[in-house]
Structure formats: C-alpha cells, structure tokens
Structure 1
Amino acid sequence: MAMPSSPISAGRPGPPRSSARRILAPLALAQFVCSFAGSNMNVMITDISKDLHTTVQGVQIAITSFLLVMAALMIPGGKLTDRHGRKRCLVAGLVVYGAGALLCAAAPGLGVLILGYSILEGIGTALLIPPVYILTTLLFTDVTSRARAFGAVMALGGIGAAAGPLIGGLITSLLGWRAAFVFQALVVVVIIVLSRRVEDPLPPDPGRDFDTGGAVLSAAGLVLLVMGILATDDNGWLAAGLLLAGVLVLAWFLRRSRVRERTGYEPLLSLSLFRNRTSNLGLVTQHIQWLILMGVSFTVAAYLQVVRHYDAVRTGVVFTAATLGLLASSLGAERFARRREQRTLVMAGFAVTVCGIGVLVAMAEDASSAWAFTPGLLLIGLGLGVMLTPSVNVVQSSFGEGRQGEISGLSRSVSNLGSSVGTAVAGTILVADPAFGAYATAMIVLGVIGLGGLGTAALLPRGKGVTAPAEN
C-alpha cells in the first residue's frame, strides 16, 4: 500500500558545520565519481578505440549506454531505498560500481568494456545516487543549510563532469586509459570508508511493495527512447519506430501505475508526484541543464580530438575554464540562496550558459589557439554552477520525507536522461560530419534548448525557499 508523506521541516537548522563536513564528504565524493565516469571517457575516445580495435562510434555507444542505464534504473533504485535503507543501497551501489571499474581496467575488447562501464557502473550509479540526494534532503532540513549541502554535492558533481576530461586526460597520458578506471575504484574504496560516519535517519521498510513490472516497463521505455535518438543518423525509419515504441511503452507504464494507485497498490512511480507544478518545472530545468552539460562536453571533446587532433591532456586542459567557473558558482550556492530567489538563480544560470555557447561558437570558428575556447567555457561553467543547486533544491524540497525515495529516483532519472539525450544528440550531429560546421550546429542546437530552459525557469514560483506541503 502507498505510504503517506510527511512534510520536511524548513525551520529546524541543519547539523553543525564540523558534523556536516563528515556527512557530506562521502555523499559529495559519490556524486563526483559518477559524474567523472560520465565525462572522462570523452577524452579517451581515441585511445580506447585504437587499443580495443573499435571505432569512435563504438566508444560513443558505450558512453551513451552508461548514461542510459543510469536513467533507466534510477527510479527503481530510488524506490529500493525505502525497502532496504538508504545507506545500505549506497554501499551496495559503490561495491557494484567498483567491480565494474576494475573490469573495465582489464577489458580485452569493447564488449567487456560495455559490460563493466555501461552495465555495472551504470547499475551501481543507479543504486548509489538516489541515497545521496535523499540523505542530503533528510539530514539538512532548512533552506540555507540544504542549499549549502546541495551546493557541495553539485560542486563536486560538476567538477567530476567538467574536470573529468582534464583528470582523465592526465591519467591517460601518464599511465594509460585503463588507469583512469583504477582511479575510480580507489575513490570508491575511500567513499566506502568515509560512509561509515553517515547514519540513515529513517528505518528501512522490508515489507514495502516493489512494483517489478513497472520497473521493467519504465526501463524498457527509456531504453527504446534513447536508442531511437541514437539511430537517427543511420536509419530514419528505424529511429522513428524506436521512438514510437518508447513512447508507447512509457504510456503503458504510466497507465499501469495509475491503475495500481487506484486499486490500492503502491506503484513504482506515483503519478501524484506530477501534480506538483513547482516540482515539474524544476525537473524540466534539471533535464535541460544536464543535457547541455554533457552535450557541450561531448561536442567540444570530440571536435578537439577528431578535427583538431588534440591529445587527451590538451583536450582536458581546454575544459579547465568550465571546471573553474562551475566550481566557483557552485560553492557560492549558500550565499546565493540567502540573497536571491531560486527562480532568479535558475534563470540567470540559463542566460549566462546560453551566452557562453554563443561566445564559444563565435570565437572558435577561425581560431588556431585553444585559448579561444576559454571565455565561452568559463561562462558555461559559471551558468551551470549557478543553477544546478537551486533546481535540485526546488524539486527535493517540494515533497516530504515519505516521498523522498520516489522523487529522488525520478529527479536523477530525468537528469541522467538529459545527459544521455545530450550526448546522443551531439554525437549524432558530429558523426554525420565531424567538421566545424557540424560542431557549430550541435552547439547552436544546445543553445536553443538552453533558451527553452530559460523560459521554463521563468515559470517557477517566486520565493527563496520551497517547503514541502503538509500533504503531497
């Protein structure tokens, strides 16, 4: 049966700063390693394709499949936290993720790489990421402390995504691409040790129902949807068929969830979540933010390596500007939350990001120096860092404790689907014609999508904090 929701107090202060740091360290590092895994592969495309005797498109499939597995399994992963406990799912996810990283380090071919990276690391991420956001929401209860906590989590997540190319490039050049996966496994060990300090504020409920059929349908629908996007460049009819099949399967999933809810059974995803307008708008902005972040990362990295023939380190250095911008603005999340409405922050972030995309395209066209990429990437990093935290805070704070498993899974699924779609759209355009014209086209498409995000953010309600209602 469905569990009632209880509101999250917005007036009780969060834990002391010393205790908060101990709690946040493993949670933020967990977000870092997962974001790192999604972006550092972009600078290893050439090295991996040569070493494993595959193609750039084959590595792109591995990257997109990793993001797709996360998006497909994030909702079931969030739901499992209610049954088995948030900390237990966090540790289980870390173990699966670490095993996948070690398998990738020893991969003899593309198939094993996909098994370790796309499948095992994807499943591990789907298990460990929802607990990160649930625990952060439950342990930090007022708007300011929660903004500080999410700022730290999103800062390290953003660094993992933006600095992934640089860190991965340095490791690849010095030790080889396989060492990058060993690095991930070592970080996982550190997180497991640090996570001993984290206590689950809610007891698990082993008797809580789990909608297995809904999990299968939701995963299948999302897989078909992104496969359709990937197939756009090769076969228009196949792409249309896959997209249609994905929409139909997801419609079946939603109808099944509605029936279960009406008959008194707990669905995988309660459709009542979508009655909250503020949360819906926040989810759309999250989707677009991660679509832009991963789309820009893949587009620029692929262009520099394939067209300009940059090595992994040089490609990674170019992304330093985005990393610094994202870090600076993310770490200011607490200060921004005290002074500005979350709606204002999200709108400002989209505006700065779109300007950055325009500058990036304008300056990189005829420039021979890599420094031409710096101003645009810096603006994109600043813009993304400003809006990532308030978007997450808006969504998580819209629901009470009893619904954090559902909304966290949905939120991360929507974000990771954005990452997957961004990589797929950019890759489809670039593979068709890997020259500056295709690069500019991909960036312009991302800029137009960013304008859509700006329009969505303008619809968010005014107010510096969002408090869960007494009944959701």
Structure 2
Amino acid sequence: MRADSRALVPLALAQFICSFAGSNMNVMISDISHDLNTTVAGVQLSITLFLLVMAALMIPGGKLTDKFGRKRLFQLGLIVYGVGALACAVAPGLGVLVLGNSILEGVGTALLIPPVYILATLYFTDLTSRARAFGMISAMAGVGAAAGPLIGGLITSAISWRAAFVFQALVIVVIVVLGRRLTDPLPAQPDREFDVRGTVLSAVGLILIVSGILLASKKAWLMLLMIAAGIVVLWFFFRHVRTTEAAGKEPLLSMRLFGSRVANLGMVTQNLQWLVLMGTSFVVAAFLQVVRGYNAIQTGLIFTAATVGILGTSLLAERLAKRWPQRTLIETGFFVTVVGVCALLLIVAWSTGGALALLPGLFIIGVGIGLMITPSVNIVQSAFGEKLQGEISGLSRSVSNLGSSLGTAVAGTVIVAGITRTPERSYALAMLVLAIAALGGLLIAERLPKAQPSGGPAADGTTADGGADATQTEVLEIDEQQNGKRLEG
C-alpha cells in the first residue's frame, strides 16, 4: 500500500475518536449524574480512569505490536473499543459505565493507538511526508479532544448522552472498513517474549499515583500513602527492567529509550500539553454546567473556540516545520498556552461577563496546543530506528495519556472539592494549577537544543553519541539505515 491519504485516513480517524472519548463526557456531567444517580465526582472518576487505563497499558500495547503485528493489534483494539462504547450506551448505572468507558474503551485505545504512530512512521519515510502525517494525526488528536465537548453536547441535547457512545461505535465501524487495506510493513514475531511482570508493575504504579491524587480532597493521609506506594512500585519496575536486560532478556521497556535527552524532553512536553488541554476541558465544562447551569450543547459550543485554534495551527504543521526549528514551535506553543490559561483565569475570576468571556482564552489555548503538539510527537518518534518503534510509540503515548489523566485528576480534584461551596475560588485555583503546568512546559522546552547535532543513529536504533540527541536531521539518517544505504558526507 502506498503511503498516501488512504493509509493516513483510518489512522488519523482512530486517533480522533480516542481523543474524542477522553473529553466528550465533560459536557455530559449533569445528564449522566442525574440519569445514573451519581455525582460530579463519579463522572470525574470514570473519565480519569479511562485516561489512566490508556496510560497504564499503552507501553504494553506498543510492545505487543512486535509480537502480534501492527495491523492485527490495531483491528483488535477497534473491536474492544467498540464493545465498550456499546456497553456505555446501555449502562444502567455507574459501574457498567466505568466498565465500558474506563476499562474496555481504555484497553481498546491502548491496543490501537501505538500501531497508529508506528505505521505512520514506517509508511512515511522522509522528513516532509512524516511531518505531514504526524501533523494530520496530531491535529485529529487535538481536534478530537477539543471537539469532544461540542459533538458530545450536540448529540446529548438532540438525543441523549447514550447516543454519543453509539456515535463512537459507528465511527469504529467506519475505521474498520477503511483500515482493511492497511498492510503491515514488518512481519509479526509471535515467538517474541512478553514481560508480564513488568506490565503489572508499571500499571499498578501508575494507577496508585493517579488514584492517590483523586483522593486529595477526602483523606490527605491516604493520598500520600497511595502516591508513595505508587513510587515504590515504579522503582521496583525500573529495577526489574535493569535486571532483565542484564540477564540478556527482553523487558517491557528498554532503558535505551531514556538515553536520548531530546526524546526525554519531548515526552515531558507531550505530558504537559495534554495535562493542560484535558485539565482545562474538564474544569471549564464542570464550572459552566454545575455553577452557571449551562446544558450540554451550550457548554460544547463554548469549546468550539479551542477546536478552531487547534485545527488551524495543527494543519500548518508541515509548513511551520520547514520554516522554524521544532524547539521554537514548542516554546511558542507553551508561551501562547500560558497566555490563554491566564486569560481564562483573569476573565472568569474578575469579570461579570457571561460564558462568552471564555472564548478568547480557549481559542488562544487551542492555538498554543496546535503549534507544539506535532513537533513534540515528531521529536520523540523520530529519535529511534524501526527496531524500537513499538516501544517508543507505546512509551510516548503512555506519557501523553498520563498527562491527560493527571490533568483531569489534579485540576478536576481542585475544582470538585469546592465547586458547591466556593465555585469561583475553586475554579481560579484549578486554572492556576494549569497555568503553572504550562509555564513548566515552557521552561522544559527551553532546554531543547537550538542546533541540530550531527551524530546519527546506531544500528540498534539509538543515536551514535550514545543516545544523547535525535532531531529532524537524524530522521533522514534513520531512513537511510532502513533502506540499507550508506550515509554520505
């Protein structure tokens, strides 16, 4: 299959629906709470667990692509996701909603997203076409997250919140049909070992940390205990990885993935981008519905501003990549995002205007996220050769989804804790947390190198200088290796 739009459409559409699922429930808070006899905290739990399951299982999902093949895992993920969406559509209570949305859709997403980025990397082998592919996929990720409230609000208001999950299932059917023509450039390796112990340790560690954050407003001692337990479990995970590698076996996650300084910084920026985007989505949606009494469609329409901002700048990714270094784009994106979050904070906290006062801030945040989402993905994904694509794709997506779950957990917990007693104060505190996160992203982005290093990738997929740096220049060098050519000059 040629690396053209026919290959890109199902991949981008899959990323869209998974991102859509992470944010569309934000506008259904009041409807779901009333229909299922639960609370805002209950809906927040379902949303956060969905994002957390993705984060916890994305690394194993990336690893399984090597064992079972990228296309096969992509198809399996679609099926699991579709079943989960249908379960949500008929959920009689919060328990079934959590099972369908948080568990099944979360597992399905963890299985299908790593193949999306791996196949895009393998299909599009030159810098320009790869930037275009990542630009489209990243744009659909951002648009899915930003348009989730709008589309979800339209469906909820016109029909029911349950119909929004039927919509997801229908999109999955379309992707299955479009994805039949996809081919797997690399053969599956069914005899390849899979690190079960590493999978359990990494998943448990992440779940404990995020679950602890969710308990922040209830029992501080239990929150600290769970976070500490999560850190200890993750320490055992990395110890297991080192021991496994030292024994000559294949762990869940190779420590070589952390050898590239640029890739490490890129993953941190990815984490903070999604933390800010998803945190803003939940906080603003909760504030409008619970405090201002807006319905699903009114809330969703407000988020159109962010959707327009993300879509506009993401679709310019290829053109921007030709004119500006990736560091510049990421720095600019975080700076613009800080301005947008501050605008939301100041306008809502000190203005008596209605929800329309939120539009400029949401639009600015969308522009900022759209500017940096593609270069961050490209930096990380292009830092390694094809041998490590399964692992780096899973790690990269896990880091991004962990950011999404942390954004909903941290900022969501801050606003939910006092939304009925001191709503304006709780909203301001939640937005302040997100502003600090965006500012931290700007500081991290400034540590990315200005110049492109000359060291090329080694045969194992790391960089020639011991895995220190990988940039746009190295993408071309990786491509030369994949084609079996000698590097010249």
TM range (shorter): over 0.9
Aligned length: 456
What's the counterpart of residue 36 of structure 1? 20
Is residue 262 from structure 1 mapped to residue 250 from structure 2 by the alignment?
no
**Structure 1 stretches (4+) deviating beyond 4 angstroms?**
463-468
The offset of 1:24, in angstroms, is 0.6
The offset of 1:56, in angstroms, is 1.1
Q: Deviations over 1:21-78 (max 9, x none)?
A: 1111000000000000000000001101100111111111111110110011000000
Q: Distance in 1 between matches of 2:95 and 2:17?
A: 22
Is residue 447 from structure 1 mapped to residue 435 from structure 2 by the alignment?
yes
Q: Which amino acid aligns with 1:345?
A: L
1:327-406 alignment, distance < 5 Å: 327-365=311-349, 366-406=351-391
The 3 A distance-change label for structure 1 pair 182 and 304 is: same
Is residue 137 from structure 1 mapped to residue 121 from structure 2 by the alignment?
yes
1:35-74 alignment, distance < 5 Å: 35-74=19-58
Q: Distance in 1 between matches of 2:118 and 2:265?
A: 20
TM norm structure 1: 0.95
Q: Deviations over 1:397-448 (max 9, x none)?
A: 0000000010011001100000000000111111121111111111111111
Bigger relative contact order (CA 8 A; separation at least 6)? 1
Contact 2:288 2:355 in 1 (8 A): no
Give the percent of matched residue pairs that are identical in Structure 1 and Structure 2.
Answer: 64
Q: Give the alignment's Cα RMSD to 1 decimal.
A: 1.3
Q: Distance in 2 between matches of 1:369 and 1:240?
A: 38
The 3 A distance-change label for structure 1 pair 466 and 291 is: farther
What's the counterpart of residue 11 of structure 1? none
SS of the equivalent of 1:239 reads: helix
Q: Distance in 2 between matches of 1:464 and 1:175?
A: 53
What's the counterpart of residue 400 of structure 2? 415
Q: Which amino acid aligns with 1:385?
A: G
The offset of 1:367, in angstroms, is 3.1
Q: Distance in 2 between matches of 1:449 and 1:56?
A: 24
Contact 2:257 2:392 in 1 (8 A): yes
Q: Which amino acid aligns with 2:317?
A: A
What's the counterpart of residue 293 of structure 1? 277
Is residue 82 from structure 1 mapped to residue 66 from structure 2 by the alignment?
yes
What's the counterpart of residue 438 of structure 1? 426
Q: Distance in 1 between matches of 2:173 and 2:136?
A: 20
Q: Which amino acid aligns with 2:441?
A: G
The 3 A distance-change label for structure 1 pair 107 and 207 is: same
Q: Distance in 2 between matches of 1:364 and 1:466?
A: 48
TM norm structure 2: 0.92
Q: Which amino acid aligns with 1:189?
A: V
What's the counterpart of residue 303 of structure 2? 319
Q: Distance in 2 between matches of 1:464 and 1:85?
A: 33
What's the counterpart of residue 480 of structure 2? none
Match of 1:165 among 126, 130, 149: 149
Contact 1:337 1:464 in 2 (8 A): no
The offset of 1:463, in angstroms, is 4.8
What's the counterpart of residue 102 of structure 1? 86
SS of the equivalent of 1:44 reads: helix
What's the counterpart of residue 471 of structure 2? none
